[in-house]
Structure 1
Amino acid sequence: MRAVRFDVPGGPDVLYVGTADIPVAGRGEIVIKVSAAGVNRPDVSQRLGRYPVPPDASPILGLEVAGVVAEVGGGVQTFKPGDRVMALVHGGGYAEFCRADARHVMPMPDGLSFVEAAGFPEVAMTVEFNMLMRAGLKEGETVLIHGGSSGIGSYAIARASSLGATAITTSRGAEKAAFCRHTGAALAIDSSAGEWVDEVMDFTGGRGVDVVLDMVGGDYTDRNLACMAVDGRYALISLQGGAKAAVNLEPVLRRRLTLVGSTLRPLPPETKAAIAARLVRDVLPILSEGRLRPHIHATFDIEDVGEAHRTLEQNDHFGKLVLTIGDVP
């Protein structure tokens, strides 16, 4: 099969389309004939040599796919060959065929394209686990979402809105702030204009936000703590602004704040299965109704994978980037 390869870590130009053996479904697994695959920052980190591949994972890039079931392994009763599916995968997505734990596979709702479906699993599972399951966002609460114009950020805005929660976002540039407002943010702050804590506090009437979904870290950490409400919950999901920061911990004590953090790929398979089951129960019906959609900024043919990575690194996109692999129905 065709698959994206690289021989040494480096820039986007090290990526090329080569060949690899077609995977075989083991017990509890399925093999998907891939139509489209999401492009994510962990893929870039792996290409740069900064994201060690777990020993049980495929060395091929790609953490989410959409396509058609090609093979079903022993013990799998939830899917059959020919089913249209989307899945979080343990690597291997940038290829014509990809193996997946059947528990991490979801049926594609009617009306969702393969390209849209390929942009759903990684962001949806990240947001569901961190913003809802761990930070406990609920109806009537307010969440501060950093990187609101990204794939995760734009989906998090829509997911918060689907709960009846209010989303505040930060992003760099007036155009990205306008995009966040269009996506459903009640307040979209252009963080390149300077400080944003006062804007958050003014918008909430001095109360602060109930939940923070933070993919920045670094010097945002102290500012996040400063604008959180009593019993607020802080979910850290990435460190794009750096891993170290000088932090005033006084608000943690005075406001009884909770800090949680996680990355999706190292989670135990059972935890990923629980997140997928929750999405099937709570989110797929919303997708079927058309009330929630992954926002796709651009698609790239698998032969143009380097350009897809270059676009992601330039950070000028809105929403998700997706690779198409072969004919996409």
Structure 2
Amino acid sequence: MNAEFIDALNQLEKEKGISKEVLIEAIEAALISGYKRNFHSAQNVRVDIDRDTGRVRVFARKTVVEEVTDPRLEISLEAATEINPSFELDDIVEIEVTPADFGRIAAQTAKQVVTQRIREAERSIIYEEFVDREADIVTGVVQRADSRHYYIDLGRVEALLPFAETMPGERFKHNDRVKAYITRVEKSTKGPQVFVSRTHPGLLKRLFELEVPEIYEGIVEIRSVAREAGHRSKIAVISRDEQVDPVGACVGHRGMRVQTVVNELRGEKIDIVRWSDEPVEFVSNALSPSKVVRVDIREAEKVAQVVVPDHQLSLAIGKEGQNARLAAKLTGWKIDIKSESESDPGPEKEEEEVFEEAATEEFPPDPDGTGADEGER
């Protein structure tokens, strides 16, 4: 090796971000094994690569002892002091033993080590880049598919989109561009594996962050998300600025902002509601677009009993219970919905209850079951 090799390592450090020192230390470690293997040596050796010239030298390391039992590992005190009078017992003496043709072995070994380390470093860099992007949104191009996954090209790595993480009826073709949400990043023998999803609630949240500047700037915050991918979603938002309407900010002028998100999610319906730390208000808002007459909270059971107008009962419950189910997910409360006629007793029922109460007072229970009054008894 020579100075050109050192220049190449410097260039690698700039282009790939791989430390030159780390590479040299790895080459030195590999050359120790190469020396012992090629020269059948059992000596303790150290390989040194000059950081400026690239010159490679091999040094045998021997311990200073009074009586030598293994000349490969030990040197007498007398012989050591001839090299340097300052040596004492138990010191380590290094003696250069560089073979004449060691340069060829060094060059081959260096090439293998550098190639391997570049591969490992690139994988590590990619892993660190994407592990920091977990719970983030990415855009890629569909490259291929197998029996279980779509493979999405993200530039430096290929992400896996499982079929189970696509929305109902969603199909992709080669070269389709797709936005997805990174659910996890794993290390593997073939490099980092990135898994993405189109059904995760986080995708909805990130899409709104991209479309609504107020969310990105922190003025409006998405507090809760409930999603049934491909069908319907609800998000609860709050504003840190009283002058900014959080729902209006997310809807946008003429609904442009929310429509962009809807289009990306292939027509998925999205309800945007105002978040509140008051359960009654939050549950009422969450059942939008239905109107709510009354909400009764049972705090201990985390149950909200909701009364809605008769003509809006089906709207509040939703198709196959979807609206009520999403509202429950959004708020964290179990929601029991009834119509006004179910929850409030009608006039006839009230009269029956009054009659039963009067009858109880007029004809008290017969304690002995004989039907006789006190005089007869």
Bigger RCO (CA 8 Å, 6+ sep): 1
Normalising by structure 2, what TM-score? Answer: 0.23
Query: Where is the helix percentage greater, Structure 1 or Structure 2?
Result: 2
Q: Which structure would you say has the larger Rg?
A: 2
Normalising by structure 1, what TM-score? Answer: 0.25
